Structure 1
């Protein structure tokens, strides 16, 4: 009863004894997990950005966030939330929304697909077609495609280097060799200077260098080998999953030639073929398309975790709406708050991007909420978005 609550209870208030027993546990777990956060599917120590691999810590983090999400629904926390939000935002132009009172608003969400975002925003089938037609020409550009691949590979290489002593077996060594080969291949793709003119990059009159030509199917085969090497590496499964995601794109362009020993116009034609094939074949529900969108917007392909999914609330006359989402933190220190704020900002920004691209009616305002035991209630502003920091306290 302390760690779990039946979803059948929906929005019913739990017995007062439950909250009294839960709060000391929440406080204890917060201290044990201080400055540790769940980012990109893995636990990270915010102080030094080191990765924490410990199943017990992972279980404690899950327990903490589950308990806090239930505790936020208590009557006195909701009352304090209402009073504090109204008090610290009295001078804002948009009336703040007090949310998270319902169980479904306090459920976690991993933002990992366009379909999930559109379902949340109630984007119609016709509007989804508009979104796809608008974003595909942008996110399937050759530089976005290769940039996303390099970001995944470099991130994987960095993580494997940092975890060398844990992952120093034959599979890991082979994996690093494959990553190096993939990065070398990508270095030979596309045009190094997109502003250069045709006379600046002339085709070779000599025989084609085998190392400078090939097809995208070669990288697809290397990705398959890399995935097999990482199957037993539990701590690196997040990256392995992203390799799987990008395979969908490879399968669409595997016959496209990659050749650096050609002129500028021919090279641009190769890049154009990659963009056209990806744009034509990647559907709205494609995980690969979503990964490319993330890289296009934020420069990485990492999924975004939201601890409290919140909801959309209508304003006066239905012309303005507010999207609220929340994160649960394990400390009130500046670096921790900043990290949680940035993650929440990315999630909120992504939802607003789809809202506006789909041509949804009304203006969508954004609101972020950060929760931590003992934190001082305050308001922060980041790129025009309001973020409320809430302290979690036991009933006096």
Structure 2
């Protein structure tokens, strides 16, 4: 079995972690116990894996897989290349298995104890179980709540608190614009390199949709809470009135013409997500030519409809929360999901998650830290909104070949950089 694993490793195939505790390399399962260090892979495997990781690190230098998209960090451009993306997934899969080795686990524990001043404090070992080293796409409140073990009653509390905040008019229109601007950026790039009928049409629709949203954004006064402009002094035809259904139809057209375009699947998926909210308010008028009171009534109607209809599991609600917290409208992909670990006593916990980097370059390290900061901050926000008992501390861990072990702080959170070594 060990020889066959090594042979498949050298062929470039990648591991995929399964919930039943088995790793599947190609079609051959190799079982790893959930207990730390038990049934570890043969030492020869780790030697082969290290050589493969080293080779892939040099090949993928300056590249990152950010929220499912391959990015060249040297110029912040995204790359559409199935072959390179496959190598990136292979690289991260190998590292996930590698950091479960006894030597890496001992190194992690020593680094955490030495750098965090926890010596003498009883704490659980992070990332020692197979399930804790799996990736995770954070795309709904339900997924966050399941991870944090939030009860059904507490989930209702979270939804009731968040609904009115994240559906405010500036958050709603802002999140729609963020989704469309991200798509516009990708379409502009594709049209400059390899334009197609779908991308050309999509680009036109995106511009029309953004024009519509900009026109109904209302006053630039930050203290104004109105979506609609005040009535002008001149008479205006009633034909100038629109409904949110107009935006919904444009989203449907975008999805239709971009569905089969390579490299835009994540953008199209997000359009589908935002359609949920648009469908709930499609009959609400959007009129630039009404008075103050009517504008407030319409804005209140939209906010109430969204707050009431977008449930806890809604990915649209989650997108609004992401925009509310960070001004982004993308889901977050975590390389190593980690977990919540006890620290010292029953009232103190540590949430640990990890990222796998292709370079120890400062830009890439800090990019990984900022990515982890967002997801850790999101989990803590939901924890506190649910009024969970106990103090939840945040730890981010980053792995990179040849990195010097060190501790960094960012926005009140602790981040550990670990070198990958035999």
TM bucket, shorter chain: over 0.9
Out of 367, 378, 385, the residue aligned to residue 413 of structure 2 is 385
CA–CA separation in structure 1 for the residues paired with 2:399 and 2:91: 12
Change (3 A) 1:338 1:196: closer
CA–CA separation in structure 2 for the residues paired with 1:140 and 1:103: 38
Structure 2 counterpart SS, 1:375: coil
**Structure-to-structure mapping, 1:89-238, within 5 angstroms:** 89-90=116-117, 98-192=125-219, 193=221, 195=223, 201-204=230-233, 206-208=235-237, 210=239, 212-238=240-266
User: How far off is 1:184 after superposition?
Assistant: 1.2
Structure 1 residue runs of 4 or more that deviate by more than 4 Å after TM superposition: 91-97
Out of 345, 355, 371, the residue aligned to residue 327 of structure 1 is 355
Q: TM-score, normalised by structure 2?
A: 0.89
User: How far off is 1:197 after superposition?
Assistant: 10
CA–CA separation in structure 2 for the residues paired with 1:73 and 1:322: 19
User: How far off is 1:209 after superposition?
Assistant: 5.8
Matched, 1:256 2:293: no
Q: TM-score, normalised by structure 1?
A: 0.95
8 Å Cα contact 2:354/2:396 also seen in 1: yes
Q: 1:87 corresponds to which residue?
A: 114
Out of 369, 373, 376, the residue aligned to residue 345 of structure 1 is 373
Q: 1:317 corresponds to which residue?
A: 345
8 Å Cα contact 1:307/1:326 also seen in 2: yes
Q: 1:10 corresponds to which residue?
A: 33
Aligned length, in residue pairs: 392
Q: 1:292 corresponds to which residue?
A: 320
Q: For structure 1, which runs of at least 5 residues remain unmatched after alignment? A: none
CA–CA separation in structure 2 for the residues paired with 1:276 and 1:349: 27
User: How far off is 1:9 after superposition?
Assistant: 2.5
**Structure-to-structure mapping, 1:29-108, within 5 angstroms:** 29-90=56-117, 98-108=125-135
8 Å Cα contact 1:137/1:275 also seen in 2: yes
After superposition, the C-alpha distances for 1:41-100 in whole angstroms (9 at most, x for unaligned) are 210011110111111111001000000000001111111111122222228998876411
8 Å Cα contact 2:67/2:330 also seen in 1: yes
Change (3 A) 1:7 1:339: farther
Q: 2:393 corresponds to which residue?
A: 365
User: How far off is 1:316 after superposition?
Assistant: 2.6
**Structure-to-structure mapping, 1:264-303, within 5 angstroms:** 264-303=292-331
CA–CA separation in structure 2 for the residues paired with 1:161 and 1:314: 48
CA–CA separation in structure 2 for the residues paired with 1:354 and 1:344: 16
Matched, 1:376 2:399: no
Change (3 A) 1:230 1:92: farther
Q: 1:305 corresponds to which residue?
A: 333
Change (3 A) 1:19 1:360: same
Structure 1 counterpart SS, 2:153: helix
CA–CA separation in structure 1 for the residues paired with 2:120 and 2:413: 12
Q: For structure 2, which runs of at least 5 residues remain unmatched after alignment? A: 16-22, 24-28
After superposition, the C-alpha distances for 1:223-242 in whole angstroms (9 at most, x for unaligned) are 00011110121211111110
8 Å Cα contact 2:123/2:341 also seen in 1: no
User: How far off is 1:195 after superposition?
Assistant: 3.3
CA–CA separation in structure 1 for the residues paired with 2:119 and 2:76: 35
Q: CA RMSD in A?
A: 2.0
Bigger relative contact order, structure 1 or 2 (CA pairs below 8 A, ≥6 apart) = 1
After superposition, the C-alpha distances for 1:84-126 in whole angstroms (9 at most, x for unaligned) are 2222222899887641111111010011111111111110000
Structure 1 counterpart SS, 2:83: helix
Structure 2 counterpart SS, 1:261: coil
Matched, 1:245 2:270: no
8 Å Cα contact 1:85/1:96 also seen in 2: no
CA–CA separation in structure 1 for the residues paired with 2:75 and 2:289: 44
